[in-house]
């Protein structure tokens, strides 16, 4: 943690330590981690201090709370050196590319398998529908984020506070070296680029991150069936496991119904 940031937050932080990544040489210390569980009040206070400290707060969850390492954060399984920059990537292009990959029909599939695969992404099938329109809101993104932090911690009280030097939550994912979607793409900057765009279009704020999970508050969610279907398509491209392994039925239409008007988005990569 930069000395100036430490002085700004002096007296506010609980005991904690700076984490060095497994593959680093000690010069890169991308994350400060509290030694024990945190509170929604402290997270909210750190969010309010971000403009002065430059440190974005994250509620950090672990792979297995019963283990002492608090993976991946406490164990140093973070890899900022391997990431590119979010600014290097076009979010619309990434989503279209991922969509094409995940909706591609395998030549070895029979007709029934092909129909089942395309039914998941109906009514679009293999055709990328493009980005959902942005929405304006009178709600406070910060207030909604604080409310979601409270809800998140009620389910995961073992979560700790993480502080990352970053301009936004989207950038914090890359700066921290998080690799949750590594089974799909090991460059987190690409996912940060998409979340950056969601921060603009839907007033999204990253609240919590786990080993392979991501949790956002949304101040301007889709409110119509048409917009929700387009957002659902973006979510499928971003994290196909949300559809493939989500609650039954495994279809874009059913998923769109769940996110219509919802003020939080949650993602999990297998």
Per-residue model confidence (pLDDT) at position 115: 75
Residue 228, pLDDT > 60, answer yes
Enter the tokens of residue 202: 């839907």
* Digit-coded pLDDT (tens) for 109-160: 666 566 777 889 999 999 999 999 999 998 999 999 999 999 999 999 999 9
**pTM for the complete prediction?**
0.93
């Amino acid at each position: 943690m930069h000395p100036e940031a430490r002085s700004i937050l002096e007296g506010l932080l609980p005991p904690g330590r700076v984490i060095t990544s497994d593959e680093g040489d000690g010069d890169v210390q991308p994350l400060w981690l509290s030694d024990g569980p945190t509170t929604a009040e402290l997270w909210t206070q750190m969010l309010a201090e971000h403009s002065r400290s430059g440190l974005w707060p994250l509620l950090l969850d672990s792979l297995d709370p019963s283990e002492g390492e608090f993976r991946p954060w406490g164990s140093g399984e973070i890899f900022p050196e391997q990431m590119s920059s979010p600014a290097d990537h076009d979010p619309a292009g990434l989503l279209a590319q991922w969509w094409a990959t995940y909706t591609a029909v395998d030549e070895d599939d029979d007709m029934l398998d092909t129909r089942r695969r395309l039914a998941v992404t109906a009514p679009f099938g293999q055709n990328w529908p493009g980005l959902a329109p942005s929405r304006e809101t009178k709600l406070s993104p910060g207030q909604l984020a604080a409310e979601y932090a409270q809800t998140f911690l009620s389910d995961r009280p073992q979560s700790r506070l993480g502080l990352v030097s970053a301009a936004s939550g989207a950038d914090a994912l890359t700066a921290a070296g998080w690799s949750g979607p590594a089974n799909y793409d090991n460059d987190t900057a690409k996912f940060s680029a998409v979340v950056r765009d969601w921060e603009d279009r839907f007033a999204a704020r990253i609240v919590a991150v786990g080993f392979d999970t991501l949790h956002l508050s949304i101040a301007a969610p889709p409110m119509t069936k048409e917009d929700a279907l387009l957002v659902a398509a973006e979510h499928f491209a971003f994290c196909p496991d949300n559809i493939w392994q989500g609650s039954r039925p495994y279809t874009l239409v059913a998923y769109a119904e769940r996110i219509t008007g919802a003020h939080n988005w949650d993602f999990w990569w297998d």
